[in-house]
């Protein structure tokens, strides 16, 4: 059971049919988006509890619940093996090496959903986990993009054995990201906020590319870097057709 806070995440889960209970702050039921959600709840028989503001504030983890909290049941148990089995030859996954800020993870998931990514692998330790904040920042994207915890090195071996190219995004890369072929079956490897991609992990990748910086800073925020590279892939894939 996951707790979803905010109108967009709750609405996305309602459309999927995974919400089992809604809690709505008294007085918020007249808001346009909440009225839409409540209409779906009436049609589908989802129970709704009207709750006082003080109680909603106690329930909220993010502090940004926008008058509504939903509880969703997600039964899907994802793994790299399952994603490889269910995805075609143009598979694209993200491997995040110790991205610790839940806001960054949520933003990456939201962008990944928009770019049509097949899944995101995160390590079992040293990484932000799927949480109320991640669900909130992803604006419902976490309900569509498979995210799973795994040991990264066995995952990399599995990807290589399946013919997937691994491309690290790091300031040390010799080639700009837009000069690399990002089409086909690809796994993008991005590092955490402070250390970047672990050198040992990077050595396992087929290519390392960088995002050129025109100013004085050395690198972009990891969620922005992910967006830049993913949409270059979208552009290249569209040109290939």
Kindly state the tokens that stand for 48.
């709704």
**Is the whole model's pTM more than 0.75, yes or no?**
yes
Domains and CATH numbers, the chain: 2-72 (3.30.1330.30), 80-240 (3.40.1280.10)
pLDDT at res. 75:
61
- Sign of the CA dihedral running 151, 83, 121, 142: negative
Helix 222-240 × helix 102-114 angle, to 10°: 10
Sheet holding 92-97, edge to edge: 147-150, 119-123, 92-97, 186-191, 165-169, 207-210, 175-176
Q: Tens-of-pLDDT digits for all 241 residues of the chain?
A: 889 999 999 999 999 898 999 999 999 999 999 999 999 999 999 999 999 999 999 999 999 999 999 999 876 678 899 899 888 778 999 999 989 999 999 999 999 999 999 999 999 989 999 999 999 999 989 989 999 999 999 999 999 999 999 999 999 999 999 999 999 999 999 998 878 899 999 999 999 999 999 999 888 999 999 999 999 999 999 998 7
SS3 of residue 200 by DSSP: helix
């Amino acid at each position: 059971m996951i707790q979803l806070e905010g109108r967009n995440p709750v609405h996305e889960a309602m459309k999927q049919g995974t919400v089992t209970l809604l809690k709505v702050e008294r007085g918020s039921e007249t808001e346009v988006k909440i009225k839409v959600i409540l209409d779906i709840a009436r049609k589908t028989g989802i129970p709704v509890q009207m709750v006082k503001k003080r109680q909603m504030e106690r329930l909220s983890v993010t502090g940004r619940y926008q008058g509504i909290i939903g509880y969703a049941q997600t039964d899907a148990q994802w793994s790299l093996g399952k994603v490889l089995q269910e995805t075609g030859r143009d598979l694209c996954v993200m491997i995040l090496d110790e991205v610790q800020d839940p806001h960054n993870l949520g933003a990456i998931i939201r962008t990944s959903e928009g770019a049509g990514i097949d899944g995101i692998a995160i390590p079992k330790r040293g990484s932000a986990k799927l949480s109320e904040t991640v669900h909130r920042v992803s604006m419902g994207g976490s309900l569509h993009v498979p995210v799973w915890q795994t040991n990264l090195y066995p995952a990399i071996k599995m990807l290589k054995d399946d013919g997937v190219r691994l491309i690290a995004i790091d300031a040390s890369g010799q080639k700009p990201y837009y000069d690399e072929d990002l089409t086909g079956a690809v796994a993008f490897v991005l590092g955490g906020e402070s250390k970047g991609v672990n050198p040992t992990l990077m050595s396992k990748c087929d290519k390392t590319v960088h995002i050129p910086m025109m100013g004085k800073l050395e690198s972009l925020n990891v969620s922005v870097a992910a967006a830049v590279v993913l949409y270059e892939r979208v552009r290249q894939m569209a040109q290939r057709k």
